[in-house]
Amino acid sequence: MAFAETFKALSDPVRREILTLLKKQRLSAGEIGNHFDMTGATISYHLSILKKAELVTETKCKNFVYYELNTSVVEEVMLWLSDLKGDYQDETV
Amino acid sequence: MAFAETFKALSDPVRREILTLLKKQRLSAGEIGNHFDMTGATISYHLSILKKAELVTETKCKNFVYYELNTSVVEEVMLWLSDLKGDYQDETV
DNA sequence: TTTCTATTTAGAAATATTTCTAAATATATG
DNA sequence: CATATATTTAGAAATATTTCTAAATAGAAA
């Protein structure tokens, strides 16, 4: 996992909102797009960045592409922050 | 605290390295600059972004400006991520 | 006060990001 | 097969970010 890509992915408000939507359930690209006043192409661009950062995974079904939150990468980011904070409570080190 | 500014601040590798340096001890702008192959002006720019995001605090002493990590904002980011992950263990909700 | 050191500010150049429209791809259905 | 739906890709425009040099500011020391 590359922190550079992950933090970059998290730095955009649209992408953070997409992740928040995916917190409850997996959604198709179109369903995600419906929550925003943007073209599908733009949503697809943001999804591609979240995917590269491994913050989401995709599953194809019929002619839909479903996206799901990948909590394990979220956890890795939390560990980085936890280490920065100097809190060794939940570290494996 | 504004997550937009905080995540943006965290999204740059130079700024993450500055935060890592400040993990151990507070440092002056010049001491921070010595760790990078960049001009002082560039370091000053990065410090201003970390300061706006409240990830660091500054203290002036003589003609030095010392920077210190602000762990409370780091914790707030961790809470956001924790909520995203759906782990309510350490939440006040 | 003059000069030196530390840091920031201003402005410009290079690069990266975000967004759009239009076209392409891929699958489903009549 | 032809058409409709869902999504992605390509390319361009607008905007934002990162970095530099040069100049400005502020305090310390001679």
CATH of the domain at A76: 1.10.10.10
Nearest chain B Cα distance for residue A21, angstroms: 9
Comparing B90 with B54, the larger pLDDT belongs to B54
Domain count, chain B: 1
Binned at pLDDT 50, 70 and 90, residue B2 comes out as confident
B28 domain-assigned? yes
Query: Which pLDDT does position A5 carry in this prediction?
Result: 94
Could you tell me which of B64, B70, B73, B77 has the C-alpha nearest to residue B32?
B64
**Which nucleotide is closest to B14, CA to C1'?**
D18
Is residue A11 within 8 Å of B11, Cβ to Cβ?
yes
DSSP strands (E only) in chain B: 27-28, 56-61, 64-69
Query: Which pLDDT does position B90 carry in this prediction?
Result: 54
Q: Which of A11, A73, A93 would best serve as a mutation to test chain B binding (most B beta carbons within 10 A)?
A: A11
Query: Which pLDDT does position B20 carry in this prediction?
Result: 98
As a whole number, mean pLDDT of residues A1-25 equals: 95
A39 domain-assigned? yes
Query: Which pLDDT does position B88 carry in this prediction?
Result: 66
What are the pLDDT digits (tens) for B26-69? Answer: 999 999 999 999 999 999 999 999 999 999 999 999 999 999 99
Is residue B41 within 8 Å of B81, Cβ to Cβ?
no
A63 domain-assigned? yes
**Which nucleotide is closest to B62, CA to C1'?**
D27
Q: How many residues does chain A have?
A: 93
A90 domain-assigned? no
Is residue A46 within 8 Å of A15, Cβ to Cβ?
yes
Provide the domain limits for residue B40: 3-85
- Answer whether A81 sits within 8 Å of B86, measured CB to CB: no
B74 domain-assigned? yes
Query: Which pLDDT does position B1 carry in this prediction?
Result: 76
Task: Please give the Cα distance from B10 to B63 (Å, whole number).
Answer: 28
DSSP strands (E only) in chain A: 27-28, 56-61, 64-69
Residues of B in contact with A19 (CB under 8 A): 84
B91 domain-assigned? no
As a whole number, mean pLDDT of residues A67-87 equals: 95
A92 domain-assigned? no
- Percent of chain A clearing pLDDT 90 (strictly above): 87
A78 domain-assigned? yes
